[in-house]
Amino acid sequence: MTFNDIFKSSFLENVKTFSLTDTVIALLFATVLGLFIFYIYKKTFSGVMYSAGFAMTLPGLTMVTTLVIMAVTSNVVLSLGMVGALSIVRFRTAIKEPIEIVYLFWSLAAGIVIGAGMFPMAVAGSIIIGLMLLLFSNRKIRLNPYIVVLTCKDRKSEESALIVLQKSVDHCVVKTKSISDNGSEVTAEIRLKDSDTGFVYDLYAVEGVKNAVLVSYNGEYMS
């Protein structure tokens, strides 16, 4: 078929034989992988507020992408028109967490691979990606930075509190220190040894420590 024959022939003549069975099987695979992506996102979410709407978008996006790819691969003229139609689409939804971009591209990639008929690649790739995300999300508890704010009566109590703090955590760096007539306030960035935060009670028990505050910090917000 030449380039001129494509435009001379009718639309129906360029459409391959439609298979309802293949379409149903592909959409079922897309649904299962989409739900798997949804599950991984729910298990690894660590942001400020969980968005059920975004989570449900992931399986829907996988299914829609699968259907679009199957339609594009069935007809040359339709593929050209689809590219033109999708080029004018603009998405204005803000991405709250950088990790959400990974899940969006994961859903798109899964839909494209399934739509192309490469089911084993889609399943194997999704399992590997899901396991890696679960692995790194479980380590995040210890790697998350925390901010400790200490209000001390005098220099001696401040030094004693810092000694207790350094013994209780893996990493401790003093970021700010302010002194006034009421004493001193020290802010330190720390990394926990584990998920236990009981050392805050030990800090408060140091003689001369008026207040001890532990704040979770990810570089963008505090909680």
Q: Do residues 190 and 91 share a domain?
A: no
Q: Do residues 82 and 49 share a domain?
A: yes
Q: Do residues 47 and 18 share a domain?
A: yes
Provide the CATH number for the domain around residue 197. 3.30.70.260
| Domain presence at residue 127 | yes
Q: Do residues 7 and 28 share a domain?
A: yes
pTM for the structure as a whole: 0.60
How far is residue 214's CA from residue 223's CA, in Å, rounded to a whole number?
A: 9
112-117 contact pairs (CB < 8 A, 24+): 112/65, 112/66, 112/69, 114/26, 114/29, 114/30, 114/33, 114/62, 114/66, 114/69, 115/26, 115/65, 115/66, 115/67, 115/68, 115/69, 115/70, 115/72, 115/73, 116/69, 116/73, 117/26
Q: Phi and psi for 176 in degrees, rounded to 5?
A: -140, 155
Which of 126, 141, 156 marks a domain boundary?
141
Q: Which domain holds residue 155?
A: 144-216
Which of 141, 163, 193 marks a domain boundary?
141
Which of 141, 165, 190 marks a domain boundary?
141
Digitized pLDDT (tens) for each residue of the chain, 223 residues in all: 555 554 444 545 545 556 788 888 989 999 999 999 999 998 888 766 777 788 888 899 899 888 888 877 766 556 555 655 555 555 566 666 778 888 889 998 998 899 888 889 999 999 999 999 888 876 655 567 888 999 999 888 898 999 999 888 888 888 899 988 888 899 998 888 777 788 889 898 899 999 999 887 655 544 4
Per-residue DSSP letters for 182-214? TEEEEEEEEE-SSS--THHHHHHHSTTEEEEEE
| Domain presence at residue 111 | yes
Listed in sequence order, the residues at least 6 apart from 35 whose beta carbon sits closer than 8 Å to its beta carbon are 59
